[in-house]
Amino acid sequence: MGRTSSTKEDAGALFHSLRSAYAATPVNLKIIDLYVGFAIFTALIQVVYMAMVGSFPFNSFLSGVLSCVGTAVLAVCLRIQVNKENKEFKDLPPERAFADFVPCNLVLHLVIMNFLG
């Protein structure tokens, strides 16, 4: 009884500590996290739609899902590079990271638009 309640309390305590830790992250990182969440959510909705109506036309589905996933991945890369606590990218100015992020996204979306059909 103590153990189950402790696991529940532990889960609650874990959640709270995560939440407070997260609150400490800088705003720009939070923006990027929000963007990633938006992209993944959109992908999920598309997958649910496909599950409902079937995979015709398959190329459209793929391009839709991959655009979401691709842009999420690129955003995660941006977050890694912009995060000040990351020792590896200490010398990389965030503007430079953003300057990489924008063209990569543009190329991704060109390919996606071509594949959309």
Partner 1 sequence: MARRLAGFLVLLLVVSICEAAFLFQPISDSHRSTALELFTPDHGSFKSLEETYEALRTFQILGIEKKPDLTATACRSISETVGSSSSTAKDLFYALKANSIAECKIDKKASKGIISRLKAAVSGASSLLDFYYSVGGLVLIKDQSSEADVHLADAEGVFRSVKAFSQSDGRWRYSSNNPESSAFAAGIALETHAGIVSLASSEIDQSLISTLKNDIIKLFDSIEKYDDGALYFDDKLVDGHEYQGPVSTTSSVLRGLTAFAAVTAENLNLPGDKILGLAKFFLGIGVPGDAKDFFNQIDSLACLESNRVSIPLILSFPSTVLSLTRKDSLKVGVSTVLGSEVPSLTVKLVGAFSSGSKDASLVESQELNFDKTSGLHILNDLPKSIDVGSYTFVFEIVLHEPKHEEVYFKGSQTKVPISVTGLIKIENSEIAVLDSDLGSIESQKKLDLAGKNAISLSANHLQKLRLSFQLTTPRGRSFKPHQAFLKLRHESKVEHIFVVGNSGKQFEIVLNFLGLVEKFFYLSGKYDMELTVGDAAMENSLLVAIGHIELDLPEAPEKAPRPPPQPVDPYSRYGPKAEITHIFRAPEKRPPQELSLAFLGLTILPLLGFLIGLLRLGVNLKNFPTKPLPATFAVLFHVGIGAVLLLYVFFWVKLDLFQTLKILGFLGGILVFVGHRILSHLAAASAKLKSA
| Interface with partner 1, residue 85, by CB under 8 A | no
Residues 6+ apart with CB under 8 A from 55: 61
Q: Which of 1/53 has CB closer to partner 1?
A: 53
Cα 17 to Cα 3, 20, 23: the distances in Å are: 20, 5, 10
Interface residue with partner 1 among 4, 21, 53, 85 (CB under 8 A) is 53
Q: What is the amino acid identity at position 104?
A: C
| Interface with partner 1, residue 58, by CB under 8 A | no
Q: What is the amino acid identity at position 74?
A: L
| Interface with partner 1, residue 23, by CB under 8 A | no
Q: Is the peptide bond before 57 cis (omega within 30 degrees of 0)?
A: yes
Positions touching partner 1 (CB under 8 A) are 27, 30-31, 34-35, 37-39, 41-42, 45-46, 49, 52-54, 56, 93, 95-96, 98-99, 102-103, 106, 109-110, 113-114, 116
